[in-house]
Amino acid sequence: MNGFVSNLAAHIQVLLDVKHALGLPYEQSERHLHGFDALCARDFPGQSTLTQEMAMTWAIARPGEHVNGQMRRISPVRQLAKHMSSLGVSAYVIPHGIPGRGIHYRPHIFSHQQLRAIFDAADQIPVSPYGGQRQLLIPAIFRMIYCLGLRPGEAKRLHRNDVDLTRGTVSIRESKGHKDRIVFMSPDLHEYCRNYDAAISPYHLDRTAFFPNQSGSFYSSSTLNCWFHELLTAAGTAVLASNGSPPRPYDLRHAHVIENINRWVLAGRDPEVLVTYLSLHLGHQNTQDTWYYFHLAADFHPDLRRLANTDIESTLPEASHDLR
């Protein structure tokens, strides 16, 4: 039963089965449910209902925990309680006011100079004494995120057969909103990925992942974050996002989009005509998510402020932990 050991194990498993049947990856939430299950088994042995004490013990903020991380940790337990309640089992649902509003911020948009410094640092990353060929992986995975505008999770989950090195295409599967799409590499990126694949393949003859860890499988998000912060330090890119936190790998996706919008404006093309294409390229569920980037780009091009002041702009959400 996926290693669940508390008296809530059966309910947790059914919830996961439902999520997986709907095609939801649910990986991060499943890890949180494992943590909650361990807490229940340790601190509430024999308890077969989800009590307020159990739920609020889990919900309490941990030292140094970001409020957005706390929200992501609480959400699957709230869903579990709702699932149990729907079956007539007593379960306390953590109120939606806990832990309060997440912190909203504008993404950091890198300058060309900062991007060059980051990728120069990636190309000079030292070989790890512990193996893993990170000197090949780091410059390749962050280039793919930036050049194709991928979500970091999409890049790290790429299977080797998702990247067609003959046609120069990348198939994104089971992305946010469960939308599959195909994106096309530029000639430069295509050649770079062919060279990367040739270099990494001797170390992983039968790998599953295009960007393999030492076992040939997929890296975690925390590893990508650590690598990116290492690059920022090496590049001397001492910049902070508006909430005081350092830039994240996701900001490379934002930089890709803003760069494309800027190029279209400088070429005299109408961004309003291209928003549908951009929405498909990014894997957005609707164009309203895409219009958000025109709001950001308005800071760089006065001509775009006309778009930022239209009625549709008033419906745009702020950037939050629920990244686009």
How confident is the prediction for the chain on average, in pLDDT?
82
- 191 inside domain: yes
One domain for residues 57 and 118: no
Give the pLDDT confidence of 98-107 residue by residue, as tens digits.
876 655 556 7
Q: What is the mean pLDDT of residues 118-123?
A: 94
For residue 35, give its domain range.
9-86
One domain for residues 260 and 230: no
Total domain count, the chain: 3
One domain for residues 79 and 13: yes
Q: Is the pTM of this model over 0.75?
A: no
- 240 inside domain: no
Point out the least confidently predicted range of 70-74, 102-106, 187-191, 307-311: 307-311
- 241 inside domain: no
pLDDT for the residue 210: 97
One domain for residues 129 and 217: yes
One domain for residues 117 and 223: yes
Among residues 302, 297, 257, the alpha carbon closest in space to that of 280 is found at 257
> Does 39 have pLDDT greater than 90?
yes
**Neighbouring C-alpha atoms within 13 Å toward the C-beta of 129:** 0
**For the CA atoms of 237, 243, 248, 253, what is the dihedral angle to 10 degrees?**
-100
pLDDT for the residue 278: 83
Measured over all CA atoms, what is the biggest interatomic distance in the chain, rounded to whole angstroms? 68
- 244 inside domain: no
Q: What is the mean pLDDT of residues 127-141?
A: 89
One domain for residues 133 and 228: yes
- 101 inside domain: no
| DSSP letter for each residue of 84-107 | HHHTT--BPPPPTTSS-PPPP-PP
One domain for residues 185 and 218: yes
- 100 inside domain: no
Cβ atoms of 196 and 187 within 8 Å: the answer is no
pLDDT for the residue 315: 27
> Does 177 have pLDDT greater than 80?
no
One domain for residues 121 and 82: no
- 104 inside domain: no
- 94 inside domain: no
One domain for residues 255 and 231: no
| DSSP letter for each residue of 214-272 | TTSSBPPHHHHHHHHHHHHHHHT-----TTSPPP-THHHHHHHHHHHHHHHHHTT--HH
Q: What is the mean pLDDT of residues 43-48?
A: 91
One domain for residues 226 and 120: yes
Give the pLDDT confidence of 249-292 residue by residue, as tens digits.
999 998 898 888 888 877 877 766 777 788 888 888 766 677 77
pLDDT for the residue 204: 92
Tokens 């330090």 -> residue = 233
Q: What is the CATH number of the domain that holds 194?
A: 1.10.443.10
- pLDDT-derived band of residue 51, with 50, 70 and 90 as boundaries? very high
pLDDT for the residue 154: 94
Domain closes at, from 202, 235, 268: 235
> Does 294 have pLDDT greater than 80?
no
One domain for residues 176 and 63: no
pLDDT for the residue 275: 78
One domain for residues 275 and 182: no
